[in-house]
Amino acid sequence: MDITDIKNKIIEKDRDEKEFVQAVDEVLTSIAPVFDKHPEYLKMNILERITEPERVIIFRVPWVKDDGEVVVNRGFRVEFNSAIGPYKGGLRFHPSVNLSVVKFLGFEQIFKNALTGLPMGGGKGGSDFDPHGKSDGEIMRFCQSFMSELYRHIGPFRDVPAGDIGVGAREIGFLYGQYKKLVNESSWVLTGKGLSYGGSLVRKEATGYGLLYFVRAMLLDHKDSLEGKTAVISGSGNVAIYAAEKAMALGVKVLAMSDSNGYIYDPKGIDLDLVKKIKEVDRKRIKEYIDVHGDAEYHEGAKGIWQIKCDIALPCATQNELDEEDAKILCQNGVKVVAEGANMPCTHKAQRVFLDNGILYGPAKAANAGGVAVSGLEMSQNSLRLSWTFEEVDERLKEIMDDIYRTCADTAIEYGAKDDLVVGSNIAGFLKVAEAMMAQGIV
Ligand code: NDP
C-alpha cells in the first residue's frame, strides 16, 4: 500500500469523526515526502499505528446541581501515544466535546509535544460539561466526579493532564484536590497548578507569550519585526489574553478581541486590564467592554473579527473558526502573519489561501507549543522539588519557541518546501516520534 491508500484506509475507518479526520488528513498529506527517505516506516506500518490511540477511556460523570437536579455528563481521556514520554495534554470542558474532538486534539498533541524537545507523549481529554453560568460549588462537584474516575488512569509517569478550554486555575485546583485525596500522594500529577501547590511561574502566560515569541522568530527570519504592527486576536480566554499582553509589550497595537458571542473593535488599542477584569475576574461577556469604552465597537457574531484590517491575525479561540472566505479577506486587507494560538483554528482551505499568498503562517502545533512546554518545565520543577524564577522560566520558553521555529523552518527547507511551516512542523514532529516507535518494537 502507498501512503494515499493508507491515508484513505485510516480516514474510512473513522469517517464519522470529522475533526479527527481533518487533523489526520493534514498531517499525513504533508509528511508524504518522508517515506522516500524512510521506506522502513511504511514497512513497519508506523502510520496506522500512530493514528490509532494506545487507549481511549470514556466514562460517566454524574453530579448534583445547586437546586438538587442530578446531571450526567460524559468524560473522555484519549491516551494517544507514549513513545517519547508520559501522555501529556489538556482537559477541555465545553458542550462541543466529543470523541472526534478529543482524538483530534490528542493526535495533534503528539507532534506538538515532540517539537518542544521535552520527553512528553500525546494525550487529551475533557467533557461535554459547560462551565458557563455554573456556581463554584457546581464546578467543584463536577470536577470531583470527573476525577473520581480519571484518577485511576493517570500518574506522574503515566499521564499528566493540564487545562484547555473551560479548564483554568479554578478547575485544576478542584481536580488536583480530588486526585490527591483519592491516591493519598502529592505527586503533582496535573500541570497548570496554583503557585502555592506546585505550579510554575509563567504557565498561565505561556501559550500566549510563546505564540508571540514564535511570531517574532518568523518575522526576524524574514528581516521584519513586531514593532509598530497591528493585530487582531480572536478569543478572550487564557491564550488570547496573554498573547495580547505580550504583543503589546513588544510594540504591537491590538485592535480587536472576541468571545463566542461577538467581538470588540477598539481602534485606539484594546484596554487589556479591562478585558482581564471582565473575563478573568467577573467571568462576564466581552460586550461589557463598550460600557466603559463607549467609543469602541461591539459586533454580535465572533466571525466578523477577520474583516478588520491588520498586519497580524492570531486565532486563539477554537477549531475551524477561520475559513477560506475569512482568509481571503485577511489577504485582501494586507495581513502579513497568521499564527495559531488555538488548535486547528484555520480550515484546510484557509491554510491553503495563506500559503498560496505567501503569508507567514504559523501552524498550531508549532506556534502554540509554549503552553505544553512550560507544563513540561512545571513537571521538571516538581521532580526537582524546586521553583524557578519568572525570568528563568520565561527565558527557557523563549529558547524553546526559537528552537521550534528554527527546527520547523529548517525541516521545511530540507524537504523542498521553504517557508511552509505546516510541512516543517508535521515532518519534524513525526520523525522524532517515528524514530522512538521504531526503536521500541511493535507494541
Ligand atoms: P479558554 O476557555 O480560556 O478561552 C476560550 C476562548 O475562546 C473564550 O474567549 C471563548 O469564549 C472562546 N470560544 C470558545 N469556543 C468558541 C467558539 N465556538 N466560537 C468562538 N469563540 C469561542 O481556553 P484557552 O484560551 O485555554 O484555549 C483556546 C484555544 O487554545 C483552544 O483551541 C485550546 O485548545 C488552545 N490551546 C490552549 C492552551 C492552553 O495552555 N490553555 C495550549 C495550547 C493550545 P466564551 O468565553 O464565550 O466561551
Report CA(92)–ligand 1 centroid distance (Å). 9
**Could you give the percent of the chain with pLDDT greater than 70?**
100
Q: From the CB of 91, is ligand 1 less than 6 Å away?
A: no
The domain spanning residue 342 has which CATH number? 3.40.50.720
- Is the Cα torsion angle 37, 349, 368, 227 positive or negative in sign? positive
Note whether residue 19 is domain-resident.
Answer: yes
- pLDDT tier at 2, thresholds 50, 70, 90: confident
Those residues with Cβ within 8 angstroms of residue 184's Cβ, 6 or more apart along the chain or in another chain = none
Q: Residue 16 above 80 pLDDT?
A: yes
The domain spanning residue 51 has which CATH number? 3.40.50.10860
- Which of the listed residues 94, 113, 260 should we mutate to test ligand 1's pocket, taking the one with most ligand atoms within 8 A of CB? 260
Q: From the CB of 341, is ligand 1 less than 6 Å away?
A: yes
3-class SS of residue 72: strand
* Residue 172, number of CB atoms within 10 A of its CB: 24
Do residues 136 and 16 both lie within one domain? yes
pLDDT in tens, 256-309: 999 999 999 999 999 999 999 999 999 999 999 999 999 999 999 999 999 999
Report the pLDDT value the prediction gives residue 235, as an integer from 0 to 100.
98
Domain boundary among the residues 327, 344, 367 is at 367
Note whether residue 158 is domain-resident.
Answer: yes
Those residues with Cβ within 8 angstroms of residue 76's Cβ, 6 or more apart along the chain or in another chain = 56, 57, 58, 59, 97, 99, 102, 125, 126, 127
Q: From the CB of 131, is ligand 1 less than 6 Å away?
A: no
Our answer to whether residue 303 is catalytic in this structure is no
Q: From the CB of 163, is ligand 1 less than 6 Å away?
A: yes
3-class SS of residue 335: coil
Note whether residue 362 is domain-resident.
Answer: yes
Note whether residue 178 is domain-resident.
Answer: yes
Do residues 117 and 238 both lie within one domain? no
pLDDT in tens, 57-84: 999 999 999 999 999 999 999 999 999 9
Note whether residue 386 is domain-resident.
Answer: no
What backbone phi and psi angles, to 5 degrees, belong to 220? -60, -40
Look at the chain and report how many structural domains it folds into: 2
Those residues with Cβ within 8 angstroms of residue 347's Cβ, 6 or more apart along the chain or in another chain = 22, 320, 322, 323, 324
Q: How far is CA 44 from CA 3, 35, 36, 102, in A?
A: 13, 12, 14, 26
Report the pLDDT value the prediction gives residue 64, as an integer from 0 to 100.
98
Q: Domain of 103? A: 3-187
**Which residue is it, cell 495534554?**
89
**Could you give the percent of the chain with pLDDT greater than 90?**
98
